[in-house]
A and B are shown apart, each in its own frame.
Chain A
Amino acid sequence: MNPQLAQLVQNGAPAPEAVDAFLRDHAFPLVEPGNVTFVYRGAADEVTLRRWISGFNTALPMQLLEGTDLWVLTMDLPPRSRFEYKFEVVRNGGRELLLDELNGVVANDPFGANSVCQGFGYERPDWTLPDSEARTGALVQLPLASAAFRDQREVEVYLPARFKRSRSYPLLVVHDGPDYLRYADLKTVLDNLIHRLEIPAMIVALTQSPDRLVEYTGDPRQAKFIVEDLLPLLAEKFPLMDDPAMRGLMGASLGGVATLHTASLFPRHFGQLLLQSGSFAFSDLGHHQKGPVFDPVVRFVNGYRKNPFPLASKIYLSCGIYESLIYENRSIVPLLQAQGMQVQFEEARDAHNWENWRDRLRSALTWLFPGPLWMVYE
């Protein structure tokens, strides 16, 4: 048992006031080197910890601490790990998923919010937080008539602080860009890394799909949209460096698939690729088990595995070790390396979520677009 909890109950069932004080005086979950203890307080028939972790039992029953209304669970957790969770509470025949009210750390994503478990030693990187000394860039809207999709699209464009039309800039195109802004603090990260000279001042185009389950799963229209609709418009509207080495494309999850697929249809058009937890599903034998959405993904990835070729100069990949996609990502790395591309692969003690992708942005961007910090002292 967690030593603080053990102390609470060392003289038998604690009084409700003692429990109140205990909850008030501690941060939750209770984190120790190598393990973490979750605590839920309330009347219930059953409480389960629901972890957004793959490869493990994602539902772990919590135990009622005798003589209290506290439900507790201690689990092993390697240092610096991070994952998202909720409590599943069963009472009066009903079942509901709840945030951990004792834990103020919450992560948002397009599906809602989750509580965040930060293992021993995890600290949110300072470069993901607003820095009052960093000059801030601006976001502008760019409407776009897409020939590829035969519809109207809206792209947000990040312009760095002190943007000047007389200069030329590297370009990064982001799949699920507004989600990266909202859930992975991309704008703050860009402002900070540019301010620290860790990456050059750059222009970042933030695209969003109205139907990513179709468009990001190996749809040639998406590749054409990026290369034939978006890039020429960006080149017309903004001063961009006309060099593939100064052009990057990125995405997470299915956005990673869309990135890789676009690079495969337009090889070397983007010199730099950034792939986070890419859903690179494939099948070595027989049909895959991932559902029909993944049919085109598997066709694409199987095809690339069969006939690989160089796609870009540098590819950075990251994946959480607590997500099932670690298998697919580990599998694709040697294949990409064998094509003579520079490949950097980073594994994180995290799962399939936006904050995992946020926390990897510095190592990714500074490797793909190294800034002038070594030589510049402003």
Chain B
Amino acid sequence: MTQRILLGPQNPRSNLRQAADAIDVNGPIVVISAGWRDSEGEIEELQEELGRPLEDLMIYHRAEEIFAREPELKALHRERQDKLQELQELYRMRLGPTIAAARKLMRATAQPDLLRLEQRAAIAQVRALDRHHLRRLQAIHQDFDRRRAQLHIPAATAEREAVQRQVAKAGLVLIAGGHVAVLLNRMRLFRLGDELANKPLIAWSAGAMALSERIILFHHHAPQGRRDAELLDAGLGIVRARILLPHAKTRFDWGNRKRTALFSRRFSPAACCTLDNGSLLHLEDDRLVSTANSFVITRSGQKRVLTPR
């Protein structure tokens, strides 16, 4: 059984030590802090918290160095990123009106039997759009992988393999939060999914999101007005059947039950789990064995304390 612990933000109080103490570590502890971008590798605080030596994989900086050496790979990568960005814009254009219709129906009053079916159909349309978007994203990644395999760049390949070996030797991998798209991008670039799938992991915030099957960006209190939650991409798929929601306490509009219900039903059957400061989800493979300070959003939009089943 592979131990995986998911945490919320580590500020203001860290529960990383508590998580690490729950795992038998046989081998070096490596860190992925690519989500911190320019600050990648500044792991002194983590080291102090755990009281053990840590090695940062430095995949954000390594990728930058590889791009500087391999212009073809850089161009291919840029092309993919541009496509992903453009596709996200197009998805948003469709998502806006589709989700607005679902939201309106969630608030509507009508004969219950009529309304229920219309609500279900409206949510199904949002789900269909998310599925479509996911397929389109996967096609872009597959195209990148195919063309990447055709490039003759042995030094970059050797570096990727060196990072994979480093993960293979690790007794525990810590995946920090930060910029979720950057983090996911770098882990994909170094093809860490397979190696990480069999490793004891502790991941927090964006790190946890990146391990899930679908990464959902959300913020109900964005300063420039309402923004609908959107599917960013598929994650590494190591944590299954859960949508992970860091900072949910402050980012969710908990007073708006219809909105939270729509969110939950949109991503069902995945369980929408909150990850706030102090949250902890301990999984053995896919089985939840213990939890702390985490909630799941029910179909009716309420918070229910997440407990192992």
With A164-B39, A378-B9 in contact, do A373 and B177 touch (Cβ < 8 Å)?
A: no
A interface, over-half SS: loop
Q: Is B219 an interface residue (CB 8 A)?
A: yes
Q: Is A377 a contact partner of B178 (Cβ separation < 8 A)? A: yes
Q: Is A167 a contact partner of B223 (Cβ separation < 8 A)? A: no
Q: Is A373 a contact partner of B219 (Cβ separation < 8 A)? A: yes
Q: Is A75 an interface residue (CB 8 A)?
A: no
Interface residues of B in 34-85 (CB under 8 A from A): 35, 38-39
Using a CB–CB cutoff of 8 Å, the interface residues on chain B facing chain A are 9-12, 35, 38-39, 177-182, 205-206, 209, 217, 219, 222-224, 227, 246-247, 250, 277
Most chain-B CB neighbours within 10 Å: which of A135, A193, A366, A373? A373
Q: Is B179 a contact partner of A372 (Cβ separation < 8 A)? A: yes
Cross-chain contact of B179 among A133, A135, A375 (Cβ < 8 A):
A375
> In whole angstroms, what is the CA distance A208 to B177 when docked?
39
Q: Is A366 a contact partner of B223 (Cβ separation < 8 A)? A: yes
With A132-B12, A133-B12, A167-B38 in contact, do A374 and B178 touch (Cβ < 8 Å)?
A: no
Q: Which residue of B lies closest to A168 (CB)?
A: B38
Cross-chain contact of B206 among A135, A193, A378 (Cβ < 8 A):
A378
Closest approach, in angstroms, between the C-beta of A269 and any C-beta of chain B? 25
21 examples of A-B residue contacts, CB within 8 angstroms:
A135-B11, A164-B39, A167-B38, A196-B250, A362-B223, A363-B223, A367-B224, A370-B224, A372-B179, A375-B182, A375-B217, A376-B35, A376-B178, A376-B180, A376-B206, A377-B9, A377-B177, A377-B209, A377-B246, A378-B178, A378-B246
> In whole angstroms, what is the CA distance A372 to B182 when docked?
12
Q: Name the interface size band of chain A.
A: 20 to 34
Q: Is A198 an interface residue (CB 8 A)?
A: yes
- Number of A-B residue pairs, CB cutoff 8 Å, is 54
Q: Is B38 a contact partner of A166 (Cβ separation < 8 A)? A: yes
Q: Give every chain A residue within 8 A of B209 (Cβ-Cβ).
A: 377
Cross-chain contact of A366 among B177, B178, B180, B224 (Cβ < 8 A):
B224
Q: Give every chain B residue within 8 A of A166 (Cβ-Cβ).
A: 38
Q: Give every chain B residue within 8 A of A375 (Cβ-Cβ).
A: 179-182, 217
Q: Give every chain A residue within 8 A of B217 (Cβ-Cβ).
A: 374-375
Q: Is A378 a contact partner of B177 (Cβ separation < 8 A)? A: yes
Scoring A residues 339 to 378 as 1 if CB is less than 8 Å from chain B, else 0, what string do you get? Answer: 0000000000000000000000011001100101111111
16 additional A-B residue pairs with CB within 8 Å, beyond A374-B222, A376-B35, A377-B246: A133-B11, A362-B223, A373-B219, A373-B222, A375-B180, A375-B181, A376-B179, A376-B180, A377-B177, A377-B178, A377-B206, A377-B247, A378-B9, A378-B10, A378-B178, A378-B206
Q: Give every chain B residue within 8 A of A367 (Cβ-Cβ).
A: 224
Q: Give every chain B residue within 8 A of A198 (Cβ-Cβ).
A: 223
Q: Give every chain B residue within 8 A of A376 (Cβ-Cβ).
A: 35, 177-180, 206
Q: Give every chain B residue within 8 A of A167 (Cβ-Cβ).
A: 38-39
> In whole angstroms, what is the CA distance A166 to B41 when docked?
13
Interface residues of A in 149-178 (CB under 8 A from B): 164, 166-167
Q: Is A377 a contact partner of B180 (Cβ separation < 8 A)? A: yes
Q: Give every chain B residue within 8 A of A370 (Cβ-Cβ).
A: 224
> In whole angstroms, what is the CA distance A73 to B12 when docked?
48
Nearest first, the 10 A-B pairs at minimum CB distance are A366-B223, A377-B246, A377-B205, A377-B206, A378-B177, A133-B12, A198-B223, A376-B179, A377-B177, A375-B179
Closest approach, in angstroms, between the C-beta of A239 and any C-beta of chain B? 11
Q: Give every chain A residue within 8 A of B224 (Cβ-Cβ).
A: 363, 366-367, 370
> In whole angstroms, what is the CA distance A377 to B177 when docked?
6
Interface residues of A in 215-261 (CB under 8 A from B): none
Closest approach, in angstroms, between the C-beta of B22 and any C-beta of chain A? 22
Q: Give every chain A residue within 8 A of B219 (Cβ-Cβ).
A: 373-374
Closest approach, in angstroms, between the C-beta of A103 and any C-beta of chain B? 29
Q: Which residue of B lies closest to A365 (CB)?
A: B223
> In whole angstroms, what is the CA distance A354 to B19 when docked?
47
Most chain-B CB neighbours within 10 Å: which of A166, A373, A375? A375
Closest approach, in angstroms, between the C-beta of B187 and any C-beta of chain A? 15
> In whole angstroms, what is the CA distance A377 to B227 when docked?
16
Q: Which residue of A lies closest to B12 (CB)?
A: A133
Q: Give every chain B residue within 8 A of A133 (Cβ-Cβ).
A: 11-12, 277
> In whole angstroms, what is the CA distance A363 to B223 when docked?
7
Q: Which residue of A lies closest to B230 (CB)?
A: A374
Closest approach, in angstroms, between the C-beta of B155 and any C-beta of chain A? 26
Interface residues of A in 116-166 (CB under 8 A from B): 132-133, 135, 164, 166
> In whole angstroms, what is the CA distance A198 to B223 when docked?
7
> In whole angstroms, what is the CA distance A372 to B183 when docked?
14
Closest approach, in angstroms, between the C-beta of A189 and any C-beta of chain B? 12
> In whole angstroms, what is the CA distance A164 to B224 when docked?
28
Q: Give every chain A residue within 8 A of B177 (Cβ-Cβ).
A: 376-378
Q: Give every chain B residue within 8 A of A366 (Cβ-Cβ).
A: 223-224
Q: Which residue of B lies closest to A135 (CB)?
A: B11
Q: Which residue of B lies closest to A162 (CB)?
A: B39
Q: Give every chain B residue within 8 A of A374 (Cβ-Cβ).
A: 217, 219, 222, 227
> In whole angstroms, what is the CA distance A193 to B180 when docked?
20
Q: Which residue of B lies closest to A193 (CB)?
A: B223
Q: Give every chain B residue within 8 A of A362 (Cβ-Cβ).
A: 223
> In whole angstroms, what is the CA distance A362 to B11 when docked?
23
Q: Which residue of A lies closest to B250 (CB)?
A: A196
Closest approach, in angstroms, between the C-beta of A134 and any C-beta of chain B? 9
Q: Give every chain B residue within 8 A of A135 (Cβ-Cβ).
A: 11
Closest approach, in angstroms, between the C-beta of B142 and any C-beta of chain A? 23
Q: Which residue of A lies closest to B206 (CB)?
A: A377
Closest approach, in angstroms, between the C-beta of B179 and any C-beta of chain A? 5
Q: Which residue of B lies closest to A367 (CB)?
A: B224
Q: Which residue of A lies closest to B225 (CB)?
A: A363
> In whole angstroms, what is the CA distance A220 to B9 when docked?
49
Q: Give every chain A residue within 8 A of B181 (Cβ-Cβ).
A: 375
Q: Give every chain A residue within 8 A of B222 (Cβ-Cβ).
A: 373-374
> In whole angstroms, what is the CA distance A166 to B36 when docked?
14
Q: Give every chain A residue within 8 A of B246 (Cβ-Cβ).
A: 377-378
Q: Give every chain B residue within 8 A of A164 (Cβ-Cβ).
A: 39
